[in-house]
Structure 1
Amino acid sequence: MTNFSQKTTYILIFLFGLFFLYTDAKAAFQSSDVSIRDTLHTEELTYGVVHSRYLADGPNILNIIAIDLDEPYLHFQTAGTDSLTRTTAQAKQNDRKGHRVVAAVNGDFFSFDTDWPIGNQMIRGDFVHGVPAEGRYHVAFDREGRPFLDALSFRGSLVTDDGESFPVGDLNHIGSDAETTLFNRYYGAQTPQDSEVLELILKTVDDEPMQGSRHPVTVMVDDIRSSGGNAVPEDGFVLRIRDKSLSERAAEHIARRDRVTLELGFKPDHQGITDVMGGGVRILDQGEPYSGDNEARHPRTFAAIDRDTTTLFLCTVDGRQTSSIGMSYREMADVLLGLGAWDAVNLDGGGSTTMVVRHEVVNSPSDPGGERKVANSLQLVSTAPPGEAASLSIKPDSFDLYPHESKRPEISAFDTFRNPVDVPDEIEWQTDPALGNIENGVFYPGNTDTSGYIAIRHGDIKDSAQVRVHHITALEPDREELRLEPGASGEITLFGVTDGDDRREIPLDRIDFASDGEELYLSSSGRVYAWAEGSGKIIFEAGELSATVPWTIEGGIKKTALEDFTGELSGWMSPAQTHRSQILGVDPSASSLQTRDNHGVWTFVDDPESKEDWDIRITRQLRDELGDMLYGTHLGARVYLADDAPGDIYMQLVIRDGDGQLEAGPAGRLTPGEWKWIQTELANKHFEGYLNGNGELTREENQFNGFRITGDRETLQDATVTFKVDKVQSSPETLP
């Protein structure tokens, strides 16, 4: 085991190398305009693991974890697939003593319809999802913990004692049309219902080690069923055969109680694979950066390896935000080259991009509600033996309190590997009496406007947190009354007066406040929204202190234009940029988006190879641009369907609520050759869950997200359909 001083030397050398990179950014990034400008944060997570946050051109915020692959207590593991869950939840579920999840990133692309990943997945030698994913790159790990990147395609077969072989088309693949599909315990309790299939119930007899890319499993045929809906053995498989000729051949060569061999693996051949995570594009291939034509900037998640396979990088770049706009594949490839990466694969990005360190999200996910639920995750696990507490931590390390508040800081303890251990019972608290006092771990502020520190100690280990106590003697709003027109909005700022006559702003989320009328709503940000005519007062309370602001709403109706397409199409995703699972039935490469005569013009071309109905999402790729709040009002869009379009095409408005979930309004039927308002009142009774939504709007931070277009497969066969949108508006009353 490398000792701490050696590890510290390694980290310092690593950071010095990065500093040298920053000072010579132009040379390091010759082929890109993107360079790292500053280091915002660096922390050793455990021996051989360094997490750094960088500011890069764009602007962009990157989080990068560098992992020393020679550390004996570290290994990578994939997790997930039971259902869509957040990366933090997957990390916590897999975390236990002696098996600590140090860090994790979101994993593979996935289907919102099935909740399953798009590519292949293995967990510690168990096959979880298998598809013949030709050309789709994965990150994989062998029994020695060494990573590699390759375009892994699932392959399998069932071989009888007399040498007959039956192909296994895929594994746990929902909606498969393969001749044969294999199911195991990761799929669920039973196979899908189907009356026209043959299913072999297989129980494991001998599970042999991986041989090359083949994983031989000896199984016994426990039963043969002529339909689906059968229980999946916990220690076995179910092989579903759809093809009639294969079913007839299986009946000739396979009987109950027979022993047969399942050979499962991947193409191309690799030795002893234990964990596999699906990805997408390979953005670094032996030092050669991505050379494709996708220049769209989005939030990104990557896994990368250095040239001699001694370091693996987990990387995220935030996007769709003013503080971080996101990167193209080529831009991120150049950044990774500068950090010393040699090979890299793109994992799922966009709203899925998440990095977790010790169960906390350290990046800024682009969905308004924060971390998105995903199908699986790639985790860094430490199996170091638990030790005694070697350090303590107070979280947060600084906080503000007002007289009516108290705070129970979170106390954590860590061993020498920085893995969490139980907090010792004998913790000593220390603080200045003028600051306040601590009782049973809860800090209560004193009656003095001051700042200082609270501290904890156990033997020779300690930590501290800075505290600012705001002793307020009066509340003063910035206005005596508020007057607005229906549909308008305004701002209110609340100040507190200290005993020294200092006047400072008080965040509204730190006090109690309410309006006595539904016609006006005050958010915790201080933003006031007027829905309809009326009057009343806003009441502020902080402990025994209070203040009021009378309000009146009267006058004309105010309509707000959210988008009029008079400028560039900034923020709208083209069909080619939209995730394939959200643009069904059409050919994205042949479809287009452009502006013409102050209209947004979308043209969609039917995919003749598709068997699916049209279900198209027209969406925003920037979360900050359209509307700061939509609630208690009407939202509409003026839409034109081209004269030559088939009938029975429907459009819905899509809202991203304050929790990051997608909600769809009622479907409006478009009429060819006519302009029409597609609109709805923003109330829960009108909305349904769309993708990850539940049909409920939040009171705050609902944002217009785009449109959903649906149509019947038969009606739209071989069609090219053009839609024009000339404005998106919100209003307290029906539009126009």
Structure 2
Amino acid sequence: MTKNCIPQINLYRLITITNEFIFEGINKTNQFVIFTLTFFGIFLIMEFYGANMKIRILLFSIFLFASSIFAGSPDSIIIGPGVIQYHHVIDSGLWNINVIKIDIQNPWLKFRSVKAGDKLMAFEKTSSMAARNNFEEHRVVAAINGDFYNTSTGEQVGTQVANGELLKVTSDWLNAAFDINKNPMIGLQNFSGSIIRGDSTKSISGVNKIRSTDELIIYNSFIGGSTSTNQFGTEVRIIPLDNWLVNDTIRCIVDTIIAGVGNMSIGKNKAVLSGNGLSGAFLVNNLFKDDTIKIVLKLIPAFTKLEQLIGGNTWLVQNGIVNQDNGDRHPRTAIGFNEDSSKFFLFVVDGRQPGLSVGMSYKELGDYMKTWGVYQGLNLDGGGSSTMVVRGAIVNSPSDIGGERSVANSLLLISTAPTGPLAHIRIKPKEIFAIGGSGVNLTASGFDQHYNPVSIPSGSIVWSCDPAIGSVSQQGVFTAAFDTVSGYIYAAVGDIKDSSVVHLTKLSQIQLVPNPVILQPGQSQQMSATAYDNYNNIILLQQTDFQWSVTGGLGSITPGGYFTAINTGNGEIIAEIDSISGSVPLTVGTSATIILDDFSDLSGYTLTGTRVNLAQCSFVYDSTNFISAPTSGKLYYSLTTGGTSALYLNKEIQISGTPEKLSIQIFGDGKKHWLRGEFKDVDNEIFLINFTTADPGIDWINIWKYIEVDLSDAVPSWANPSAILNFPIKWTRTYLAETNDTKKDDGAISLEDFRAHFIITGLKDESVLPEEFKLFQNYPNPFNGSSVIKYSIPELSRVRIKIFNPLGEEIETLVNEEKSIGTYELTWSAANLPSGVYFYQLQTGSFVQVRKIILLK
């Protein structure tokens, strides 16, 4: 055999092809295992054929390159016929992305554009639109939110076509459309329409819009039950003989003709022609009951027989060229397709969630889409609207406080494949890091050959695992062996199998939150412990797997980590497993000041912004100018014009208990920008505080200034204007803002010693007279049995304090009398009330303040 006759192989292409065609639907750990085995198979062949050293080095270099590809590659699962969902985490904490890749040519698939509530002016969640359109042989495989919309009415901004029926026309708004053969397009269209009766033709002016002088408008059921027109016209109800389609001729029967009345009822799948003046005269003179007429509604330029269409605001990729707008980062929803239109993609990028995902600019998303082969791409509504649903479940992380937002419309991917017998099973979780003796619960789901969900017969799953990694019960509970090997857990139903990879590792550290814990006697705090191995992988453990303890006799803690403060003093809360422990400082019932961040470690911070030049912004160590050694944090900013600018310095910090104040040291640059902060309370509602006023802002130059703010002055965010602050809280970000375009510039400020201040309020301080009416947060809160309510009165007043339930019904009056100037406390006993949320109200004259109180029994 002749040596050195090695086949000419494009190894990079081999990697790409292997990834695209073999690994789709396989998690990336298994992908890498398969690739590694394949690689060494090729390497052995090279050895056998006597490959020279240069080729061996090249091959090994490609292996290292491929390793990096797989390390950052997205996990993928098959979710339908010709449909794969990818979950991609890039630079952990920067971007969290979900992608749906669709084979347009698969005969089981089709798209649907859906309007919220099937009404032009309505709101509905994407998951709800998916659920009500999900039925046998019409299974919703995936759904994303659609167009931008009027936040008051729910009317979408752009044109929409749903199952061939035209809802609305907007000529200057981009859209994505599909014809009856699923061919996609993105572009702008102009509307034209006409009615044909024999040799007579009349132009149609619009769809579902207000009728003006001499106009002929066509209305359908998306406008509502009737046309809402006045009596100055003629209206004709028509019944289609063909399915509604845009850019096609639709035959219709004239059902009813009424002149001089208006507001004609429409009916499902019917339409009304409504004409005023000359158009009304045309209807009267040319249409008669039971006539057959023709309706032509066109969007030009476009496909013939247009079936689905949904709007978006801007190109992200046009003819392979990426949008170069590299401005603000936000959550994004987008769609696109490749150059030959054979593959269609749905994208949702999470954002506004530091530690999970910060969002993308138009350019960043366009660049990312192009890596998937997108040749034409459109941006849809984003921000809090961004939602992706897969088989009925939301798979992304919507950024609004309350989760998924109600929107105007959505785009659904439908599978018409019938439900068949069990053909696949899928185990969750797919990858496990565990320590010896720990337990992990696994589940298995069933699917037919088209990946429609089907049930698995009870008791039919046979669980097993590689003996070296431990054991698994027939209920799917895995118990890890005391070793450091890897292996697989298997689930089988007959010949149908799936596996999950297990890495047995060693516990390295335990982290607890919140850190520190500061409470008053009677208050409680649920602790959360997270275990990590030497490679910073999270080990799957239950809170009950840890051994919890408290030092100093300060209180009690349950096996699940729920601590209740009893005695005053200082100590620690400790969680331990196998001689590895984690602890946090504990303070009960004493005044305390804690440093939340001294800015000696900036690794957890991310920067996002609105109307800022983010490329020129940074947060860096400053070892030359600090208060607490060794460094401060220096924030470089660059604010741009065009509206309010805000540069966000994001990091989550858990703060236990009920702090009275927050403080920070700021080294100013004198450029008079506004410094603010944001946090979430226990109800996940957002609150804002001002470290400075908007004007003059940071007006001191080259000196440190101590700033202290009272948390009772925090105001609810616009996203939850009626929110009532309820402790404990979680700090989310500090930010620099500027509303005045004439003050936009570049600069830098430094931050030091961010602190929380806890003050015992059990005794009235007679030496300080209050200057304002104020109702303080009760303590403890939540409480069991009784809680203290404190309030201040700056002048002689009649005071009423009442308790209400969530329905607004008065439960009890605690105070109803005149009070002189001073600060007062009372104890409310709720022994006879059930657990739940209540409200307490201070009213004196025109002043009213309400706070939330939680009773837990």
Please classify the TM superposition score into its range, dividing by the shorter chain length: 0.5 to 0.7
Structure 1 residues 61-85: Cα deviation after superposition (integer angstroms, max 9, x where no partner): 4433332222111122223412544
Q: Which residue of 2 aligns with 1:143?
A: 180
Instruction: Measure, in 1, the Cα distance between the counterparts of 2:481 and 2:23.
Output: 48
Deviation, 1:448, is 10
1:306 positional shift: 1.6
Cα offset, 1:346, TM superposition = 1.4
Q: Is the 8 A contact 1:110 1:374 kept in 2?
A: yes
- Confirm or deny: 8 A CA contact 2:613 2:640 kept in the other structure: no
Structure 2 residue matching 1:111: 3-state secondary structure: coil
Contact (CA 8 Å) 2:126, 2:387: kept in 1 or not?
Answer: yes
Q: Which amino acid aligns with 1:571?
A: T
Residues 477 and 331 (structure 1 numbering): CA distance in 2 closer, same or farther, change over 3 Å? closer
User: How large is the Cα RMSD of the aligned pairs?
Assistant: 6.7
1:73-92 matches, cutoff 5 A: 73-82=108-117, 83-92=122-131
Work out which of the residue numbers 127, 136, 139 in structure 2 matches 1:97: 136
CA distance in 2, matches of 1:329, 1:120: 22
Q: Write out per-residue CA displacement over residues 103-122 of structure 1, whole angstroms, 9 at most, x where no aligned residue.
A: 23322223322233222222
Map of 1:462 onto structure 2 = 497
C-alpha deviations, 1:164-197, integer Å up to 9, x for none?
Answer: 7465445379x999988765333445667x9x67
Q: Which residue of 1 aligns with 2:446?
A: 413
Over 3 Å counting, the alpha-carbon distance change for 1:426 and 1:85 in structure 2 is: same
Alpha carbons of 1:154 and 1:493: their partners in 2 closer, same or farther (altered >3 Å)?
Answer: same
Structure 2 counterpart SS, 1:351? helix
SS at match of 1:307: coil
Matches within 5 A, 1:501-580: 508=543, 551-555=587-591, 570-574=607-611
Question: What SS is found at the alignment partner of 1:91?
Answer: helix
Measured after TM superposition, the shift of residue 419 of structure 1 is 2.2
Q: Distance in 2 between matches of 1:319 and 1:177?
A: 47
Match of 1:132?
A: 170
Q: Distance in 1 between matches of 2:698 and 2:364?
A: 43
Give 1:273 deviation, angstroms.
0.8
Give 3-state SS (helix, strand or coil) of 1:327's partner: coil
Give distance in 2, aligned partners of 1:117 and 1:476.
46
Q: 1:115 aligns with which of 132, 154, 163?
A: 154
Q: CA deviation at 1:358?
A: 2.9
Query: Would the aligned equivalents of 1:573 and 1:620 in 2 still touch at CA under 8 Å?
Result: yes
Corresponding residue to 2:337 among 288, 301, 305: 305
Match of 1:342 in 2: 375
SS at match of 2:222: coil
Give me the whole-angstrom Cα distance separating, in 2, the residues matched to 1:431 and 1:569. 43
Cα deviations by residue, 1:689-723 (Å, 9 ceiling, x for unpaired): x458774667655757999999xxxxxxxx99989
1:630–1:703 CA contact under 8 A, matched in 2: no
Whole-angstrom CA distance in 2 between matches of 1:65 and 1:84: 25
Aligned identity (percent) is 24
Give, in angstroms, the shift of residue 476 of structure 1.
14
Relative distance call for 1:48 and 1:495 in structure 2 (3 A) is: closer
Match of 1:206? 240
Check whether the contact 2:147–2:157 (CA below 8 A) recurs between aligned residues: yes
Aligned with 1:341: secondary structure? Answer: coil
The answer on 1:40 being equivalent to 2:78 is: no
Aligned match for 2:98, one of 63, 79, 86: 63
RCO higher in 1 or 2 (8 Å CA, sep ≥ 6)? Answer: 1
Give the SS at the match of 2:102: strand
1:671 to 1:250, Cα distance in 2 relative to 1, 3 A: farther
Which amino acid counterpart does residue 391 of structure 1 have in structure 2? H
* Structure showing greater Rg: 2
User: Displacement of 1:254 after TM fit?
Assistant: 4.5
Q: Normalization by structure 2: what TM-score?
A: 0.54
Shift of 1:225: 7.0
The match for 2:813 is none
5+ unaligned residues in a row in structure 2: which ranges?
Answer: 1-14, 25-30, 36-57, 59-68, 532-538, 577-582, 600-604, 615-634, 665-675, 700-707, 760-769, 773-857
Letter in 1 for 2:187: D
Q: Are the counterparts in 2 of residues 368 and 656 from structure 1 also a CA contact under 8 Å?
A: no
Show the 5 A alignment for 1:182-581: 183-189=219-225, 203-208=237-242, 213=247, 216=250, 218=252, 220-221=255-256, 223=258, 232-237=266-271, 247-249=276-278, 252-254=281-283, 263-290=296-323, 293-320=325-352, 321-322=354-355, 324-367=357-400, 370-397=403-430, 410-425=443-458, 427-430=460-463, 456-463=491-498, 508=543, 551-555=587-591, 570-574=607-611
Q: Output the CA distance in 1 between the equivalents of 2:409 and 2:549.
A: 41
In 1: Cα distance, 2:655 partner to 2:415 partner: 43
Counterpart contact for 2:169–2:191, Cα < 8 Å: yes
For residue 20 of structure 2, the aligned residue among 14, 17, 24 is 14
Superposed displacement of residue 274, structure 1: 0.7
CA–CA distance in structure 1, aligned partners of residues 558 and 236 of structure 2: 58
DSSP 3-state at the match of 2:141: strand
Equivalent-residue separation in structure 2 for 1:331 and 1:99 (angstroms):
35
Partner of 1:171: 208
Q: TM-score, normalised by structure 1?
A: 0.61
Q: Distance in 2 between matches of 1:222 and 1:524?
A: 75
Measure how far apart 1:298 and its partner are. Answer: 3.0
Paired residues of 2:80 and 2:450 also in contact (CA < 8 A): yes
Q: How far apart are residue 271 of structure 1 and its match?
A: 0.7
Deviations 1:208-266 (A, max 9, x none): 456763564645445567676x75533434677xxxxx744455454597677654342
Structure 2 counterpart of 1:280, one-letter code: N
Does the residue aligned with 1:72 lie in a helix, a strand or coil?
coil
Cα 1:373/1:514, change in 2 over 3 Å? farther
Change beyond 3 A, Cα 1:49–1:659: farther
Shift of 1:637: 13
1:39 counterpart SS class: coil
Q: 1:521 to 1:198 in 2, by over 3 A?
A: farther
Looking at structure 2, the residues matched to 106 and 269 of structure 1 have their Cα atoms a distance apart, in angstroms, of: 23
Cα distance in 2 between the residues matched to 1:202 and 1:360: 43
Deviations 1:279-322 (A, max 9, x none): 121222222332x5453333332222222222222233344444
* 1:334 counterpart SS class: helix
- Preserved CA contact (<8 Å) 2:517 2:655: no
CA distance in 1, matches of 2:738, 2:259: 44
SS, match of residue 186 in structure 1? helix
CA-CA distance at 1:40 after TM superposition: 3.0
Structure-to-structure mapping, 1:670-709, within 5 angstroms:
681=712, 690=718, 695=723, 701=730
Q: Distance in 1 between matches of 2:372 and 2:511?
A: 52
Matched letter for residue 283 of structure 1: L
1:143 Cα deviation from its structure 2 partner? 0.6
Question: Residue in 2 aligned with 1:591?
Answer: none
Correspondences of 1:634-649 after superposition (within 5 Å): none
Deviation of residue 137 (structure 1)?
1.7
CA distance in 1 between partners of 2:584 and 2:183 (Å): 65
Residue type at the aligned position of 1:308: D
